[in-house]
Amino acid sequence: MHLVPLSQARSIGGKFVPGAGPEQPVGRTVEASVPRTVSTGPPIPVRCLVPEGEPPEGGWPALLYFHGGGWVFGDLDTENVGATHLCSRSACVVACVDYRLALKTLPAAVDDAWEASLWLSTEAQTLLPINTTRLAVGGSSAGGNLAAVIAQRASATPSSNLVFQLQLLLVPVIDNTASTATSSTYAANEHAPGLSVAKMLWYRDHYLPRVEDWAHPEASPLLWEGDWASLPPAVVVLAGVDPLRDEGERFASRLEGAGVRVELRVFEGQPHPFISMDGVLEDGRRGLIWASDAVRDVLYPSGEEGE
């Protein structure tokens, strides 16, 4: 797919990873259109999955979620299976964001993600029974990149009053300066199934066509120079056969070195998109369950889930 022009690649496919399992039941779905308050552009579509049953006192915890697809592919349907797992098993509202894709370049996706974050912490309560003191941010692959960036921006912007209790990073893109010369797993997994280095760089070059943007901290959160100790706890899931493994491990290590709680699990032998292939890969199913349980444990520290 990365060997053809973007318009042709989109006509071929790229919206879904084959092999997803069944969706899990949720209580209801709320579609929202988020107006902008600090940036320019169109309203941002957000799909909110609400758990079954009655919310706990104070409302459901909420997870803001960004899909993967290399900032090039994807929409609100792309990771709906995983989102329903997180909603059901983690007992939280999952708000999935339809951020702008390339050829819209940095900072379009980050601006959309930030606007959705501000909305979730304020206006979303008019539509959803959520507890804004129990917010998390997460995503997969390119969406994991956005989640890490938004957690850092929230930490560096106290005036936003946006505090995340957790960042969920599933096979995230953490360092857009990486290459086979600087990353051990770029070198070892250069031709990996699911995500080769050539494909990763094709994604990067559409989202970050200016070389000087590769090291921008809102493109490469590993290079952020803020207060790492102020960042929220992290749940990190990595694939063993993935060029991105090294940068994910380095990010987790950087957080731990700053005293931030990190739950890290590497699924050895698995390709980059394994967690979206839970219907055909047992480790994909295990990864979804483990991540969902880890999210629940952070958002319900006393175990007081709603029934």
Please tell me the distance from the alpha carbon of residue 200 to that of residue 24, in angstroms, as a whole number. 30
Burial 13-33 (b: 16+ CB within 10 A, else e): ebebbeebbeebebeeeeebe
107 preceded by a cis bond (ω within 30 of 0): yes
C-alpha–C-alpha distance, residues 28 and 126, integer Å: 16
Tokens 């102020």 found at:
230
Q: What is the CA radius of gyration of the chain?
A: 18
272, 276, 278, 292: which is the annotated catalytic residue? 272
Provide the H-helix boundaries in the chain. Answer: 6-12, 80-90, 108-121, 142-156, 184-188, 197-207, 245-257, 282-299
- Catalytic annotation on 179? no
Active site residue 141: yes
The catalytic position among 90, 141, 183, 292 is 141
Residue 19 tokens, joined: 């092999």
Provide φ and ψ at 30, rounded to 5°: -120, 120
Segment holding 134, helix H or strand E: strand 130-140
Choose the catalytic residue: 98, 111, 242, 278: 242
Q: How far apart are CA 237 and CA 86, in angstroms?
A: 14
Quote the CA–CA distance of 251 and 174 in Å, as a whole number: 7
Catalytic residues, which ones?
A: 141, 242, 272
